């Protein structure tokens, strides 16, 4: 005979004789279960069994640890045994990691749902294990209550809470699902609890397993007797473990926020540097945490209010539970105030960054305008200077032409004056009889040759000097100047 597959186990569970409305409701749950617990991508149930079944009867506690390959056979044996009258059975499921599949194979989970006639509403709670808690699900506690005859009832809910992580002392989000079925027996009522926790080493499960530990032989366990007489105390113990955590958690968020808020209020020069980016990121993280925490705390209020309305409690216990409801409601209101303050601080930091950069931009804009004005003045001055330079250049060119003309005239006139001063002769005289100027005979024989020779000598010296100056600035045989050769280097 072939083994029954997990799919067949769940098909048998969903095919049971539910009423028509429940059958319609189960169709959606069945699709979601098939999506999250299919063999190719099973993120809800683990492959290896590691869970506990605790039976409490007449003050005695019997804990069954189901682990490994033999878990299926042991589970069948345990579920096949009736719980003694007024007894309590607790099935404790958990995962090894905070965000991980429950340590129970899919077929064994289906077997528990089948043999214990677990209502399908509890599947809504289980479907959210094995994944990161979503903000959209923080407020939803999936509260379900169905009452029957003679005080029989079935209730289930999910509790979101925060707990300090023992490894790094930081706060971590946790969730636990609770299923409670009170059913009639031959003598009194029996009670079935199914607990599904995101991590086994939580405060509640650890304290529960410790209190329901092995008692001395033939000695009733006081905690077990109290639980048998007051099954509602398990719900109260769960709430008492985590209700006060909310105050510490919100105080933790408020302390982190106050440090950043004080700096934002006391500073007028916040710029978008690495520190400011980290602080804005921290504010956004605090805001997200406060949103999730506020929603989860509000969900705790709904759970506590449901327990106060549905459970038959002693007067003092009811008063304690109602006090917890009021405290949680107050914490939800305080969290709302904290969220507004975080938003205001975030807006303030953003405003200061924008204001400071706007002020800096305005200052730089003014400085740029001043530089542009000074540049225009300098340009105008340079233009005037260029015009003056052009005028000087034109005048210099005109003076150069004049000097050249004077030089040429001097080159002709000066040698003649020089010759005349050397020889002391007058080459021109006035003939009174003829009444006209007469050129001396020495003009053509002495003055003119010497004068012409000096003119040629002067011109030759000028040409020689001019060529020497030009050749003095040249190097190499190709006629290139030293400056030109430096440019070629």
In the numeric block, the tokens 């999936």 are attached to 142
What average pLDDT does the segment 20-36 reach?
70
DSSP category for residue 474: B
For residues 136-147, give the mean pLDDT: 86
pTM: 0.72
Strand, helix or coil for residue 201: coil
- Same-domain check for residues 393 and 271: no
| Co-location of 45 and 126 in the same domain | yes
Q: What is the model's pLDDT at position 272?
A: 57
Q: Are residues 362 and 256 in the same domain?
A: yes
Provide the token pair at 357.
Answer: 């950069």
Query: Where does the pLDDT of residue 461 fall: very low under 50, low under 70, confident under 90, or very high at 90 and above?
Result: confident
The band of 460, judged by pLDDT with boundaries at 50, 70 and 90, is: confident
Same domain? For 199 and 86 the reply is yes
Residues 465 and 355 in one domain: no
Give 64: exposed, middle or buried? Use CB within 10 Å, 0-12, 13-18, 19+. Answer: middle
- DSSP symbols for 397-464: HHHHHHHHHHHHHHHHHHHHHHHHHHHT---EEEETTTTEEEE-HHIIIIIHHHHHHHHHHHHHHHHH
**What pLDDT, on the 0 to 100 scale, is given for residue 231?**
92
Q: What integer pLDDT is reported at residue 339 of this predicted model?
A: 93
Q: What angle do CA 205, 206, 207 make, to 5 degrees?
A: 95
Instruction: Name 173's bridge partners.
Output: 162
Same domain flag for 60 and 160: yes
112 shares a domain with 227: yes
Query: Residue 196: what are its φ and ψ, rounded to 5°?
Result: -125, 110
User: Per-residue pLDDT for 17 more than 60?
Assistant: no
Q: Which among 338, 353, 388 is the end of a domain?
A: 388
- Residue range of the domain that includes 444: 389-488
**Total domain count for the chain?**
3
pLDDT band at residue 109 under the 50/70/90 scheme: very high
The average confidence (pLDDT) of the chain is: 83
Residues 142-191 have pLDDT tens digits of 999 998 777 889 999 999 999 888 777 889 888 899 999 999 887 778 99
Same domain? For 439 and 329 the reply is no
Give the confidence band of 293 by pLDDT, cuts at 50, 70, 90: very high
Residue 397: HSE in the Cβ half-sphere, 13 Å Cα cutoff: 5
Residues 148 and 37 in one domain: yes
* Domain shared by 291 and 345, yes or no: yes
pLDDT tens digit sequence for 348-397: 877 777 777 787 888 888 899 999 999 999 999 999 999 999 999 888 88
Would you state the pLDDT for residue 427? 66
Residues 471 and 356 in one domain: no
Identify the pLDDT of residue 410: 80
Average pLDDT over residues 45-71: 90
**Quick one: 426 exposed, middle or buried, by C-beta within 10 A (0-12, 13-18, 19+)?**
exposed
Last residue of a domain, one of 189, 216, 242: 242
Tell me the per-residue pLDDT of 218-244, one tens digit each, with 9 for 90 and over.
567 888 888 889 999 999 999 988 888
Contact 192, 79 (CB under 8 A): no
At 12, the pLDDT band (50, 70, 90 cuts) reads: confident
Q: Is the pLDDT of residue 24 over 50?
A: no
Percent of the chain with pLDDT over 90: 34
Which of 356, 388, 420 lies at the terminal end of a domain, its last residue?
Answer: 388
- Is the pLDDT at 19 greater than 60? The verdict is no
Q: Which of 183-187, 257-261, 270-274, 446-450 has the highest mean pLDDT?
A: 257-261
Q: Output the pLDDT for position 464.
A: 84
Q: How confident is the model over 190-198, as a mean pLDDT? A: 92
Interval 79-107: pLDDT, tens? 998 888 889 999 999 988 777 889 999 99
d(CA 450, CA 443): 10
- 181 and 271 co-located in one domain: no
Q: What is the CATH number of the domain that holds 158?
A: 3.30.460.20
* Mean pLDDT (whole number) for 279-288: 88
User: Between β-strands 60-67 and 50-57, what pairing exists: parallel, antiparallel or unpaired?
Assistant: antiparallel
Residue bearing the bigger pLDDT, 215 or 70: 70
């Amino acid at each position: 005979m072939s083994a029954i597959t997990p799919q067949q186990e769940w098909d048998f569970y969903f095919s049971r004789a539910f009423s028509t409305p429940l059958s319609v409701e189960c169709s959606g749950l069945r699709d979601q279960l098939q999506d999250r617990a299919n063999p190719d991508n099973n993120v809800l149930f683990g492959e290896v069994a590691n869970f506990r079944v605790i039976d409490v009867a007449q003050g005695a506690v019997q804990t069954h640890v189901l682990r490994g390959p033999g878990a299926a056979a042991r589970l069948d044996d345990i579920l096949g045994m009736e719980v003694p009258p007024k007894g309590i059975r607790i099935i404790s499921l958990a995962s090894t990691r905070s965000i991980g599949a429950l340590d129970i194979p899919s077929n064994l989970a289906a077997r528990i749902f089948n043999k214990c006639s677990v209502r399908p509403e509890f599947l809504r709670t289980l479907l959210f294990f094995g994944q990161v808690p979503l903000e959209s699900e923080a407020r939803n506690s999936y509260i379900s209550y169905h009452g029957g005859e003679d005080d029989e009832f079935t209730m289930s809910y999910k509790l979101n809470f925060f707990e300090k992580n023992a490894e790094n002392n930081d706060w971590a989000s946790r969730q636990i699902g609770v299923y409670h079925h009170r059913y009639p027996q031959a003598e009194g009522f029996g009670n079935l609890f199914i607990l599904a926790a995101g991590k086994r080493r939580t405060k509640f499960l650890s304290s529960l397993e410790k209190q329901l530990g092995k008692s001395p032989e033939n000695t009733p366990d006081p905690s077990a007797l109290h639980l048998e007489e007051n099954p509602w105390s398990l719900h109260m113990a769960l709430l008492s473990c985590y209700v006060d955590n909310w105050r510490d958690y919100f105080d933790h968020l408020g302390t982190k926020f106050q440090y950043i808020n004080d700096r934002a209020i006391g500073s007028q020069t916040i710029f978008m540097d690495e520190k400011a980016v980290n602080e804005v990121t921290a504010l956004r993280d605090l805001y997200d945490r406060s949103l999730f925490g506020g929603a989860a705390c509000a969900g705790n209020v709904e759970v506590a209010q449901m327990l106060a309305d549905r459970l038959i409690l002693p007067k003092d216990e009811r008063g304690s539970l109602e006090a917890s409801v009021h405290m949680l409601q107050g914490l939800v209101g305080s969290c709302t105030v904290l969220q507004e303050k975080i938003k205001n601080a975030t807006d303030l930091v953003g405003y200061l960054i924008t204001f400071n950069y706007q002020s800096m931009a305005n200052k730089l804009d003014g400085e740029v305008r001043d530089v542009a004005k000074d540049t225009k003045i300098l340009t105008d001055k340079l233009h005037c200077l260029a015009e003056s330079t052009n005028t000087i250049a034109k005048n210099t060119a005109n003076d150069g032409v004049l000097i050249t003309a004077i030089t040429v005239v001097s080159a002709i006139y000066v040698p003649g004056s020089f010759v005349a001063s050397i020889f002391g002769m007058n080459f021109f005289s006035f003939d009174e009889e003829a009444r006209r100027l007469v050129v001396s005979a020495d003009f053509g024989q002495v003055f003119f040759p010497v004068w012409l020779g000096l003119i040629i000598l002067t011109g030759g010296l000028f040409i020689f000097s001019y060529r020497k100056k030009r050749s003095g600035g040249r190097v190499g045989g190709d006629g290139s100047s030293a400056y030109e050769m430096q440019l070629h280097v």
